Amino acid sequence: MCGIIGISSNKSVSASIISSLKKLEYRGYDSAGIATLFEGEIKELKSEGRVDTLEQNFDLKNLKGNIGIGHVRWATHGIPNSVNAHPHSSHNVSVVHNGIIENSTILKKYLIGKGHKFKSQTDTEVIVHLITENLKTRELEEAITSTLKQLHGSFALGIVFKDIPDLIVGARRGSPLAVGYGPSENYLGSDSYALKSMTNKITYLDDGEFCIIKKDQVVFFNEDGKNINKKILELSSDEASYEKGDFKHFMAKEIEEQPNTIKTGIKEYVDKTNSEINIYNFPWNVNEINSIKLIGCGTAYHSCLMAKYWFEELTQLDVSIDIASEFRYRKNRFKKDNLYIFVSQSGETADTYAALDLCNKNNMKTCAVVNVIESSIARDVNFVLPIHCGPEIGVASTKAFLGQILILYILALKLASLRKEINNKNYKEKVKDLQNLPSLIEKSLLIDNDIQAISSTFNEAKGSMFLGRGFSYPIALEGALKLKELSYVHAEGYPAGEMKHGPLALIEDGMPVVVLAPRDSYYKKTISNMQEVIARGAKVLLITNKSKDEIVSENIWETIEVENTNDDLLPFLLTIPLQKLAYYSALKKGYDIDKPRNLAKSVTVE
């Protein structure tokens, strides 16, 4: 939820820290700060707002020091302001933190009793004074080890010390942290994206580990303070995918990238010549699996719901889904023939990671559908299915959603085939149909003008509904979430057949209602649900697929027709207009599309 950077160098670090913080702002952007060590002093500068504000408020160009840490914040404890911004410092220690310290109240009382003075409302400040206190009686490594043991909760830390001015300490439990290696300098960062502009040589800390970073040396320790060796990964340098190019926003770029990302995903798993799906190194015999549990948050949860329909349609498997923050506290029945599939773009979502940890503790079969293959979730499952979408920077997930449901559909098809629950002809046909999906998405992307005109109505309304049945219902939920998180207007996704059980009371004259009614087996029933809302004054935006059959209904406000394909694949195409609707609504409002208020790209706290 927050972004951390630390650099230990043979030259001034402030400029590199600031440019890295700007790359980290997608993780949190309500305040920012930097601290460097120079001539035996900690110089701490921080302010509310973006990194640009920090630069406007202070003369960072002349901020000296070859050791420094920086932070962009998404507030958990304490309102966003300059006092609660990180770093937090005592007279001799300065800390940046991502995570939540759950025993901060008790520790604060103890430290105040020891004479420590607190300035902020944050849990992080407790860490600063606890280390300061432990350093009074211990050498550095022991002080760090004992401090980390006293902390309950999650953290990724960057720590500098006035009296040890040639190193940075990094520590990780439950929030991601990476080390980067450069020429005559070394780095600490929340993820590889922050470090990519400086290095592609990365080491990820695992939970309980800490490290000491000097300009020419990095040493790793386990939670008992024992030296450990960690491997260095060489990440591909795909700089271009981290830039907007000619697009106004990352989200616009990522929507338009979808034909290519879907093409890449298909290429990774589908043998076009033989119309066969290849999922290499699947670690289980399919007869060992009789139940699938899909778990995720937000858009990733909608991917789980979409997958549930496909698994039920294509296989005889028992399929259930759960929101990760619910699953992690539920009284779950862990059975050995369950396969748990964790869906996550970032692979760092705290709730999803906690759900995985629970399954690992119960020795369950675990699989991840992720975009970031070096992420914590990807590292801790038995089997990873990457979605190969490239970096998704816009906080509102678009190409990753389509990538997730593509890989889940491919997995459902493959398992159906392996379990002989689909006849081979039907299987081959469906695999062949996938080849047309990228071009169908490309055509569906051409609806810009219609959508731009429609989007104002959604902005002006006090709320809207998104309705769908069957395969369209998860897409209705996703469309509503996109509009909510980008335009800050209330939008509710609902099963079309459920409206008469209460929500129909919401419908009033002029209320915009999106109805997803492709010509699939649910079409007729959804059209009659649509007529129920039109009869009560709703302005219906009907999204269907092209057909020679006339739409038997009047008073439809607007209709958008996506391309034709088999019913399984229609959800991909129905999603496109909804992504664009949310984008243009937010654009019209002048909102920050890539960094919507109150949100962050990777929610690494619970």
Question: By CB under 6 A, how many residues form the interface with ligand AGP?
Answer: 15
Q: Counting contacts by CB under 6 A, is residue 602 touching ligand AGP? A: yes
CA distances in angstroms from 588 to 148, 332, 451, 452, 585, listed in the order given:
47, 45, 12, 9, 5
DSSP strand E in 451-604: where?
464-468, 491-495, 512-516, 539-545, 558-562
What are the structure tokens assigned to 520, written together?
């699939």
Q: Counting contacts by CB under 6 A, is residue 345 touching ligand AGP? A: yes
Give the Cα separation of 377 and 300 in Å (integer): 13
CB of 514 to ligand AGP, least distance (A): 17
Nearest residue (beta carbon) to ligand AGP: 298
In terms of Cα–Cα distance, which of 254, 242, 246 is closest to 582?
Answer: 254
Piece of the chain touching ligand AGP by CB under 6 A; list 16-24, 105-113, 298-306, 465-473? 298-306
Which entry of 2, 211, 297, 367 is annotated as an active-site residue?
Answer: 2
Q: Counting contacts by CB under 6 A, is residue 98 touching ligand AGP? A: no
Helix ranges restricted to H, 461-541: 473-487, 523-534
Q: Counting contacts by CB under 6 A, is residue 604 touching ligand AGP? A: no
Residue closer to ligand AGP by CB (options 298, 518) is: 298
Q: Counting contacts by CB under 6 A, is residue 378 touching ligand AGP? A: no
Question: Which 264-293 positions form the footprint of ligand AGP (CB under 6 A)?
Answer: none
Q: Counting contacts by CB under 6 A, is residue 294 touching ligand AGP? A: no
Selected binder of ligand AGP within 199, 352, 545, 604 (CB under 6 A) = 352
What are the structure tokens assigned to 544, written together?
């269907």
Residue closer to ligand AGP by CB (options 352, 455) is: 352
Piece of the chain touching ligand AGP by CB under 6 A; list 133-141, 254-262, 276-284, 390-398? 390-398
Write out the H or E segment, with its range, that includes residue 156. strand 155-161
CB of 393 to ligand AGP, least distance (A): 11
How many Cα atoms are found within 13 Å in the side-chain-facing hemisphere of 363?
1
Which entry of 253, 365, 484, 601 is annotated as an active-site residue?
Answer: 601
> What angle do helix axes 140-150 and 124-135 make, rounded to 10 degrees?
140
CB of 111 to ligand AGP, least distance (A): 34
Give the Cα separation of 138 and 324 in Å (integer): 40
Selected binder of ligand AGP within 5, 32, 251, 297 (CB under 6 A) = 297
Piece of the chain touching ligand AGP by CB under 6 A; list 36-44, 278-286, 287-295, 391-399? 391-399
| Other CB atoms within 10 Å distance of the CB of residue 58 | 17
Q: Any catalytic annotation for residue 595? A: no
In terms of Cα–Cα distance, which of 322, 422, 346 is closest to 190?
Answer: 346
CB of 302 to ligand AGP, least distance (A): 8
Q: Any catalytic annotation for residue 601? A: yes
Q: Counting contacts by CB under 6 A, is residue 406 touching ligand AGP? A: no
What are the structure tokens assigned to 318, written together?
């028992």
What are the structure tokens assigned to 114, written together?
């020891």
CB of 375 to ligand AGP, least distance (A): 9
Contacts of 120-123 spanning 24+ positions with Cβ under 8 A: 120/78, 120/83, 120/84, 120/88, 121/77, 121/78, 121/79, 121/83, 121/84, 122/77, 122/78, 122/84, 122/86, 122/88, 123/76, 123/77, 123/97, 123/153
Question: Which 464-503 positions form the footprint of ligand AGP (CB under 6 A)?
Answer: 485
CB of 458 to ligand AGP, least distance (A): 17
Q: Counting contacts by CB under 6 A, is residue 344 touching ligand AGP? A: yes
Give the Cα separation of 395 and 485 in Å (integer): 9
Selected binder of ligand AGP within 18, 603, 605, 606 (CB under 6 A) = 603
Q: Counting contacts by CB under 6 A, is residue 385 touching ligand AGP? A: no
Q: Counting contacts by CB under 6 A, is residue 375 touching ligand AGP? A: no
Tell whether the torsion through CA atoms of 160, 162, 164 and 166 is positive or negative.
Answer: positive
CB of 349 to ligand AGP, least distance (A): 3
Piece of the chain touching ligand AGP by CB under 6 A; list 47-55, 100-108, 339-347, 466-474? 339-347
Instruction: Specify the 3-state DSSP secondary structure of 332.
Output: coil
Selected binder of ligand AGP within 132, 315, 349, 487 (CB under 6 A) = 349
Q: Counting contacts by CB under 6 A, is residue 258 touching ligand AGP? A: no
Selected binder of ligand AGP within 89, 366, 397, 575 (CB under 6 A) = 397
Give the Cα separation of 96 and 456 in Å (integer): 42
Q: Counting contacts by CB under 6 A, is residue 300 touching ligand AGP? A: yes
Question: Which 524-583 positions form the footprint of ligand AGP (CB under 6 A)?
Answer: none
Query: Under a CB-based contact definition with an 8 Å cutoff, are residues 410 and 395 in contact?
Result: no
Q: Counting contacts by CB under 6 A, is residue 376 touching ligand AGP? A: no
| 29 secondary structure, DSSP code | -
Instruction: Specify the 3-state DSSP secondary structure of 383.
Output: strand
**Catalytically annotated residues:** 2, 601
The residues that touch ligand AGP, with contacts defined as CB under 6 A, are 297-300, 344-346, 349, 352, 395-397, 485, 602-603
